[in-house]
């Protein structure tokens, strides 16, 4: 059996007690939220992304131990990232439904979903420009670029311009290139 001098034993015991108290105090502090991983450099919250798959589980919390509350079934649908925790992202869809998804189920490609009523896609970013197509609510289109109050979108190879107010998936003052 190894015998330690009394001073070493007392010092070691004091260090162990201090470590135990610190760990216990941290575990008992219910007001401290889970540590959220900051977004990568240059990426802000909130931000828009899109669904990578036709089937994405929307959970009540950040992890597989949390139950699936919804299953989103629309590849490329735009969603808004509200928070991050490790590899999990809290998102909101265009109807206001919120939940947590694994980051692997999201893509940085930008898409829009047509909201409201039938929308007219224009050839140029001007209200009187000739119509290119009429888009029904729920149509998902890729955002090519946005400038001023207009965004150029592409849906099934048809490209044209829509006003930002005609769809969900971009912020009012955001520049998309």
Place 33 in a pLDDT band, splitting at 50, 70 and 90.
very low
pLDDT tens digits for 74-91?
A: 999 999 999 999 999 999
Same domain flag for 53 and 104: yes
Last residue within a domain, chosen from 109, 132, 152: 109
Question: What domain range is 128 assigned to?
Answer: 112-168
Average of per-residue pLDDT across 62-81: 96
CA distance 122 to 143: 14
In a domain? residue 27? no
CATH of the domain at 98: 2.30.30.40
Reduced to 3 states (helix: H, G, I; strand: E, B; else coil), residue 13 is: helix
CA distance 107 to 109: 5
CA distance 105 to 171: 22
Reduced to 3 states (helix: H, G, I; strand: E, B; else coil), residue 55 is: coil
Last residue within a domain, chosen from 84, 109, 134: 109
pLDDT tens digits for 96-148?
A: 999 999 999 999 999 999 999 999 999 999 999 999 999 999 999 999 999 89
CA distance 93 to 99: 9
In this predicted structure, what is the pLDDT of residue 65?
97
Domain count, the chain: 2
């Amino acid at each position: 059996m190894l015998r330690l001098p009394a001073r070493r034993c007392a010092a070691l015991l004091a260090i162990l007690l201090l470590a135990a108290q610190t760990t216990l105090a941290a575990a008992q502090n219910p007001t401290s939220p889970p540590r959220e991983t900051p977004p990568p450099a240059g990426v802000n919250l909130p931000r828009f992304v899109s669904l990578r798959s036709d089937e994405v589980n929307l959970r009540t919390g950040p992890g597989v131990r949390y139950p699936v509350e919804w299953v989103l079934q629309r590849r490329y649908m735009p969603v808004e990232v509200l928070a991050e925790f490790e590899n999990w992202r809290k998102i909101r869809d265009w109807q206001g439904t919120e939940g947590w998804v694994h980051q692997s189920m999201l893509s940085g490609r930008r898409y829009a979903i047509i909201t409201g009523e039938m929308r007219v896609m224009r050839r140029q970013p001007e209200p009187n420009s000739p119509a290119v197509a009429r888009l029904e609510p729920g149509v998902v289109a890729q955002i090519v670029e946005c400038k001023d109050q207009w965004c150029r979108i592409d849906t099934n190879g048809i490209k044209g311009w829509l006003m930002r107010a005609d769809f969900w998936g971009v912020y009012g003052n955001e520049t998309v290139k």
